[in-house]
Structure 1
């Protein structure tokens, strides 16, 4: 077995201090940079990897063996060979097509490669669909962190063609990096040094801080233990406090009743509410499911745009002129009820304005706006189908409980060279 890796179970780590023991609070005086698409994201991440001196923590849902994946592999190997501690956590479903040779090259160089809930195919089909490691986080030397919705794959670059994804991430420098580092380290199963402030707080920090000043950042996350509803509750709280504007751009939009009501109620109060959704989806069901909700939202003044230039993969939102969020969580049953997700909340006027301008340009130049008074053909058929689809989707997480139970784990990749 490769000495760089050891057996780790995320639900039962070998140390007492874990990320689920902590509710991360607001951190002040951070520098947050919006990174739109792979053209902005990959150069920043790769630059940080080249300069790494002590440690790289990386987790991603998807890593492909394309030009992006090959460059990432090369940089991680170079870092490990110069003595940097490198831990890479990959999802067993999203990265299920990676070749053993690709992973072995990483492991043989000293990279600690871990797969979350890997499973072999059954009749040529992958069956480990649910409770995925969907986060996208990179932390380098506990000094700079990246978080968002962008995977390590060439389909996040414009030269990929019409199917290239539209997506967002952020680079964080400042005190909030310590929280992201602590979280990533604990989730990877590594030993975490405890210090004052890491212990679990009795009162969770408010997602809508009353502190003044820009550069405020807070990490929030969703797991299947003590933080099942944190991201959904944060959205509801932010919408309930909205007074001027709300813009949500989300690839897979099928939230529950409470979040839908919060969106509708904000519009009823006179808040300008805009939703940007997929008009050219990479998953057709996502578009069909979202459209079932249009009439409910449009009648109360919510403006709905469908982005049609290429598939939308973003998971971002802003409220009024300060509050924003960027991360991995969609607003659908998988992200809100099953997957492991992580977002950052940001209180910063300049960042909020920049994000607003980017989303407004997207809505104005590359979207079609749904009419307020739609009179679709076959409305009775659509009403019936919509009712059935909505309730099946809403109860989907509970339905997965009928499947054979298992505990997803992080498992080390073992290079064949060490099995001899």
Structure 2
């Protein structure tokens, strides 16, 4: 398919971790006049989830249309009290492809992994953060490192359209004034689905790597790309581009993810790619920059689930200011909080390769996108929460207090890109 056209006239702001992201999102929702659209993989009933709950209920009660879509696998259990108060206030709570209760653990594939917020068709958010307390520093050593972008301008319209199409692909979005130009940044909303956009995100990465002249920095939580993307990384490094990867240094959520990523270290390092393992806390970001202008921020990992199965959304950007903001965040991570992987450190992994284990894993994953494309067609359901198995009895234990985000600072965060 042809690439999406670049949309100019946008103003963008990088947001790092929950300390910046949640006040900006909650502040925008608190100021909403007409409409709030949210998609998320994870919504937990912890202090962050309760804070989101509070601003959504307040918005719905003052007449704002609120649509909240959660993934049936990623958000497996919310209490009846939590859900009932949302729906009683008028929030439309949707569940993406809820699995039957008995087979919930057997359906981790083709999930809604996107993280999108659109408020009044004027401000949009795209990134990797879920609504859970582990995106805040006070969670402790397992607090996640992550990024999102807040956008104002014409690019918010395709973001809004994508959110509406998920809820009901046959119904067009309700009329809303087209967002006015507010800045100079160009951007594209790039999604991945299992119908018309199967490899769009992988293609934008490969296109950027082919065009790179000087520098590439990629920070990604789950890294095991397909054969073509690996080749693009190697070719860029071999022609003299400084290619640096910031990958997971701590044990990831699943052991296979770390094992798989390290399987490809040898061939990348031999081509000249520099690999840095982030060891401060879990890396959850999905961002990249190329040279001085191009960058992308979103929900897509560079692994088979994100590139071949899940629904994902990235914002792809041409803007020197945003590119510089992202570089200023990533450079200290490499210098101060990462360990560079040297070729001599991969000897133990080459032993697995010689046994044939690495060879089999690599080539199985190399062909995974083609195999995934041949899986039986599957059009997931998006259903009201009442028709799903999402709701469970209220969790046991002490009550959780909502996160006390600074409401007085939220308008500045949400409105920092203009009126």
Alignment TM class, shorter chain as reference: 0.7 to 0.9
1:260 to 220, 224, 230: 230
Q: How does 1:87-126 map to 2 (within 5 A)?
A: 87-122=67-102, 126=105
In the other structure, the counterpart of 2:219 is 249
Match of 2:281 among 303, 310, 319: 310
Match of 1:392 in 2: 364
Q: Normalising by the residue count of structure 2, what TM-score does the alignment of the two structures yield? A: 0.85
The aligned runs of 1:51-130 (5 Å cut-off) are 51-122=31-102, 126-130=105-109
1:205-244 correspondence to structure 2 within 5 Å: 214-244=184-214
Are the structure 2 counterparts of residues 307 and 299 from structure 1 closer, same or farther at C-alpha, using a change threshold of 3 Å? same
Query: Which deviates further from its counterpart, 66-75 or 102-111?
Result: 102-111
Distance 1:219 1:395 in 2: 27
The CA deviation string for residues 68-121 of structure 1, in whole angstroms up to 9 with x for no partner, is 000101111111111000011110000112223322221121111110011133
Contact 2:13/2:322, CA 8 A, preserved across alignment:
yes
Q: Distance in 2 between matches of 1:400 and 1:297?
A: 25
When the two structures are superposed, what TM-score results if normalisation uses the length of structure 1?
Answer: 0.85
Q: Secondary structure at the match of 1:220?
A: strand
Instruction: Say whether residues 1:185 and 2:164 are aligned partners.
Output: yes
**Alpha carbons of structure 1 residues 400 and 230: separation in structure 2 relative to 1, 3 Å:** closer
Q: Give the Cα–Cα distance (whole angstroms) in 1 for the partners of residues 174 and 131 of structure 2.
A: 31
Larger deviation: 391-400 or 267-276?
391-400
Bigger share in helix: 2
Match of 2:301 among 302, 305, 330: 330
Conserved 8 A contact 2:41-2:75? yes
Going from structure 1 to structure 2, the CA distance change for 1:375 and 1:129 (only over 3 Å counts) comes to closer
Stretches of structure 2 that go unaligned for 5 or more consecutive residues are 389-419
Structure 2 vs 1, CA of residues 67 and 307 (structure 1 numbering), >3 Å: closer, same or farther?
same
Number of residues paired by the alignment? 379
How far did residue 246 of structure 1 move?
0.2
Structure 1 contact 315–330 (Cα < 8 Å) conserved: yes
How far apart, CA to CA, are the structure 1 residues paired with 2:387 and 2:89? 10
Q: Which residue of 1 is the match for residue 406 of structure 2?
A: none
CA–CA distance in structure 1, aligned partners of residues 234 and 376 of structure 2: 38
CA 1:85–1:127: 2 relative to 1, 3 Å = same
